[in-house]
Structure 1
Amino acid sequence: MAARTEMVARLEEAGDLQTGAVRDALLALPRETLMPQAYVRRSAPDEPPRWELLDWSRPDDREELLGLLHSGDSVSIQHEGEPILNRAPGVRSGGAMTAMSSTMGMTADLLQRLDLRRGQRVLDVGTGAGVTAAVASFICGHNGVVTLDIDQHVSEAARARLMALGYQPAVVTGDGLSGWPELGPYDRIFVSFAVPRIPPALVAQLAPGGRALMTLGTSSPSWPGLAVITRTPTGAVEAKLVAVEFGHRRGAGFERLFLSAAFRKQIAASEGGRTRPSRLEPPADTDRGMWLALDHLHPGLVRDRSAEDLTIGAPRCGSWMRARPVGHRRWEVTTFGPRDIWAEIHYVADRWLAAGSPHTYRLEIDADGAQRVTSRCRALCWTLTDASHTDTGATGEPDPHSEKGDSHAH
């Protein structure tokens, strides 16, 4: 209980959690019951992965597992699609994590935005460890909660562990993009993996007065948007896309763009790069509406968050850029490859400024299935498609050291 209280206090101090029903639910939730086993990585990020499965039933694991579960970080619970119940603890080598519980700061923020209330019908898409289902059951009552996952092993484990908490929501297995119409419509729909466009089936299952939340973005993880879809009491659908700092990753069946270790080393070495001075200042990290627009208008880019300077790569064609300050309003910009990423950034930045520097965009969903994102004055807009702008090739091969997109995020 002390670890739980400390985690909640940290979330409050960070501004991710306020007084209310979600806070009460997290204080009441014994995470070790939902996640009696969890993986910890024992290898360095750029080394072949080696994972150890900690187990609550082993006294020697309890202190480390308790710290992991209440650290606020994401918690990996499944390796390579394995059965979760009745598995032996120990070390796994290679492969990737295929189900997890997302970072608690993001989870708490999104659950509060969902505005859960007693008696609501809730569809939780992407069961994962069952945190969202447990919180929804605590607040709304489990009789109205449906939690859906594509992996039967994940569903089976969540059902057993939610029952151990005294909750019996409907735990079902299926394609999250199709929802679960049998028990709809729903007052709240929560999707815990990123999608390239709004799934029409989920919109159709939203009840009048209902609200749906999901991360919307390209195959790049760098600049997510939060889609907020509502259905008015008269049945009209209204939606907006909010540029946010953190979002869920793409789920099962969606490719995910990344900068491989080899590509990052190439950028650091600056081999063949062209360096030029510039008095143009890069947009601030907090100009998230601009970066979100860049991600859609010039897709295929990933930012290296570990780099000291602004560093962005395009793995498909091998292009990259790095901008470092060298004095007052003076920058040294190094670029490589067929794409001039620096020019792309400033092209979009100029359009974003002309559009009024929007942080939130209108998301238009037509009856014929077309989906568009537009600024208020329509000076900046783009169309959403199912196309995945995933980069492949010599510098974009699947990274054996990375985790897959978490289709089972909560």
Structure 2
Amino acid sequence: MADPTLPPVRSAADEDRTVAARKKMVAGLETAGHLLPGPVRDAFLALRREVLMPQAYVRRSAPDETPPRWDLLDWSISADREELLGLLYGGDSVLVQHEGEPILGRVPGPRSDGSMTAMSSTVGMTVGLLHRLGLRPGQRVLDIGTGAGVTAAVACTVAGDAGVVTVDRDPHVTAAARERLAALGHRPLAVTGDGHDGWHPQAQYDRIFVSYAVTRVPPAWPEQLAAGGLALASLATSSPSWPGLAVITRTATGLVEARLEAVKLGHRLGDRGKQIFLNARFRERIAAGDDSSTHTTRTSPPADEARGMWLALDHLHAGLVRNWAADDLVLGAPACGSWITARPDGTGGWTVTACGPRDIWQEIQDTAARWQNAGSPSSYRLHLEPDGTQWVSAGTGPAELIWPLPAAPEQQAHPTQGPPRTEGSKPMTTTPPTTPRTGGCQCGKIQFAVAGDPDYPHTCSCPHCQRLSGAPMMSWVSFPLDGLTWHGGSEPTWHYTWPDSRRGFCPACGSQLCALDDGATSIAVTLSALGNPPDLVPVNQSFRETAVPWLPQVPDTRHHPDR
């Protein structure tokens, strides 16, 4: 018995409408400059998307309405076909799975609440990346993140089925793609697995295409590239506003080289990442402008086309999201509620309205100045070190612009000593930092990285710490002072709270971040500023005699000689 989710035998009229829709989509991609003559164009012109996606979801609720509502359309239902044809060939992303459900054999109809867990990406972005991939007959291709199987189908058409592997973490996605690709006459190796691991049994690959964004490059991807190979993957933070494209190659001699390009469009973060956004209530607060301040300036914000600057801002001052639907520049920081708008005032100046603890306008201007000093790059060097450290840089010497990528979870438990580094106006070495830990304050204005071996994680219940924190105790860990980097040009405000010891606070939100004794070669950082990493467990409690009696004390598992 035929699978009811596969398209039924169609009439000549249905076929004509489908062919016309496919040709119109391709023509629109050509007009927009996304699609160029060549094998990718030919593959898309021949690709029957209704076979790969005989069912798809259309949202019926408003963008901010809860719970969200969708209808699952089905190609076999004549009343659904016209709307589904528009979804499949309209160029936008196509939603194909709700809440991890089995895809084969579904009953069409309404769905409510939950979220979409698989989709086919926007066609314009997909064809642009496939063009860059440079597919050719006979290549070995790894497609990571199968989705609806569009990329795998194009790879099979151009390179041939025998060398194509497509991997997805969801067995339901894999099963549906395998069956529907076969209905098109393609039989790649479709497997279920963790895309971060690639697919080692078939390595080495000439091309690797990743259909979701990551915050750092999994080491398996460059390792599984063949000599002369190319891998493309979106690299992003928790913000969806300013994506980057990691372009990774392996030379004929086996050397891995990589760069990070600022791009207009990118894939969404995979299941390991959580994206931030501006919800309806936050947008309403911005529109109302309550508790805000306004000033005018002759300094304009960087142009939207200065994507390299916005990419740097996203990494150096994390937590910002842009409302692209607004006519003017509108940015918000959901974590602390800060926001900013900037609009032309009609005289050549700008009216800037801001609210919240973060000075977002100053963050933009500081980053723009550093970006310009580094040569206004649109592409950055992406360093993938053998020890797992990953970092990004542009420019040289005092003007170098640099930031680390997040460490892998397994690296955070095993930090290594890093070389001295400074940022901002001070000279900066191009020696890579080694597995830095990152942290910051509550509002995000102050961010830092520390490299080196952590020393003596402990709690302290001395009266000094109690009064400064307003809490029964504080938790600390020390790092080499020369392994500390303040990001984005912002440093704490320092206060001497003891004759020869000062503490660093965020001037915006008041978070206490660190303590530094005069003449010391190490700096104490609060565990809370580091996000309370699970591998840094306090080994002792200082000043037990002044501890509150209603909290259990930390066992002394490694007494420090100076305590």
* Length-normalised TM-score, structure 1: 0.93
Q: Quick check: 1:333 aligned with 2:352?
A: yes
Assess if the C-alpha contact under 8 Å between 2:389 and 2:407 holds in 1: no
Match of 1:245 in 2: 264
Distance 1:28 1:357 in 2: 41
Match of 2:254 in 1: 235
Match of 2:370 in 1: 351
List gaps (5 residues or longer) in structure 2. Answer: 1-18, 410-437, 443-563
Match of 2:316 in 1: 297
Match of 1:284 in 2: 303
* Partner SS state of residue 358, structure 2: coil
* Partner SS state of residue 345, structure 2: strand
Q: Quick check: 1:34 aligned with 2:52?
A: yes
Matches within 5 A, 1:256-275: 256-275=275-294
Report the Cα offset of residue 200 of structure 1.
Answer: 0.4
Matches within 5 A, 1:157-172: 157-172=176-191
* Partner SS state of residue 327, structure 1: coil
Assess if the C-alpha contact under 8 Å between 1:240 and 1:363 holds in 2: yes
Match of 2:227 in 1: 208
Q: Percent identity?
A: 63
Q: Quick check: 1:185 aligned with 2:204?
A: yes
Assess if the C-alpha contact under 8 Å between 1:311 and 1:323 holds in 2: yes
Distance 2:208 2:408 in 1: 24
Distance 1:275 1:387 in 2: 41
Match of 1:153 in 2: 172
Match of 1:74 in 2: 93
TM-superposition CA deviations, 1:82-111 (whole Å, max 9, x none): 110000000001111110000000000000
Distance 1:244 1:291 in 2: 10
Assess if the C-alpha contact under 8 Å between 1:242 and 1:360 holds in 2: yes
TM-superposition CA deviations, 1:242-292 (whole Å, max 9, x none): 100000010112111111111111111111111111111000000000000
Could you list the runs of 4 or more consecutive aligned residues of structure 1 that deviate by over 6 angstroms after TM superposition?
387-391
Distance 1:376 1:347 in 2: 16
List gaps (5 residues or longer) in structure 1. Answer: 394-410
Matches within 5 A, 1:368-379: 368-377=387-396, 379=400
* Partner SS state of residue 266, structure 2: coil
Q: Quick check: 1:65 aligned with 2:84?
A: yes
Distance 2:326 2:84 in 1: 30
Assess if the C-alpha contact under 8 Å between 1:152 and 1:173 holds in 2: yes
Distance 1:55 1:352 in 2: 50
Q: Quick check: 1:9 aligned with 2:27?
A: yes
RMSD of the alignment, in Å? 1.6
Counterpart AA for 2:360: I
* Partner SS state of residue 198, structure 1: coil
Distance 2:224 2:347 in 1: 54
Distance 1:104 1:390 in 2: 37
Distance 1:29 1:266 in 2: 46
Distance 1:180 1:261 in 2: 41
Distance 2:242 2:439 in 1: 15
Distance 1:114 1:376 in 2: 27
Matches within 5 A, 1:77-116: 77-116=96-135
Match of 1:138 in 2: 157
Q: Quick check: 1:24 aligned with 2:42?
A: yes
Distance 1:252 1:364 in 2: 24
Q: Higher relative contact order by CA 8 Å / sep ≥ 6: 1 or 2? A: 1
Report the Cα offset of residue 386 of structure 1.
Answer: 4.1
TM-superposition CA deviations, 1:324-350 (whole Å, max 9, x none): 111232111111111000000000000
Distance 1:208 1:177 in 2: 20
Q: Cα distance 1:216–1:390, how it changes in 2: closer, same or farther (>3 A)?
A: farther
Counterpart AA for 2:145: G
Distance 2:241 2:258 in 1: 22
Report the Cα offset of residue 217 of structure 1.
Answer: 1.2
Report the Cα offset of residue 387 of structure 1.
Answer: 7.7
Distance 2:202 2:370 in 1: 44
Distance 2:273 2:406 in 1: 13
Match of 1:310 in 2: 329
Counterpart AA for 1:59: S
Match of 1:403 in 2: none
Assess if the C-alpha contact under 8 Å between 2:390 and 2:407 holds in 1: no
TM-superposition CA deviations, 1:200-238 (whole Å, max 9, x none): 011111111100000011110000011100000110001
Distance 1:34 1:377 in 2: 48
Distance 1:261 1:175 in 2: 34
* Partner SS state of residue 296, structure 2: strand
Assess if the C-alpha contact under 8 Å between 1:361 and 1:373 holds in 2: yes
Distance 1:8 1:85 in 2: 28
Higher mean C-alpha displacement, 259-268 vs 295-304: 259-268
Distance 1:274 1:220 in 2: 25
TM-superposition CA deviations, 1:139-174 (whole Å, max 9, x none): 000110000001111001000000000101010111
Distance 1:161 1:221 in 2: 31
Larger radius of gyration: 2
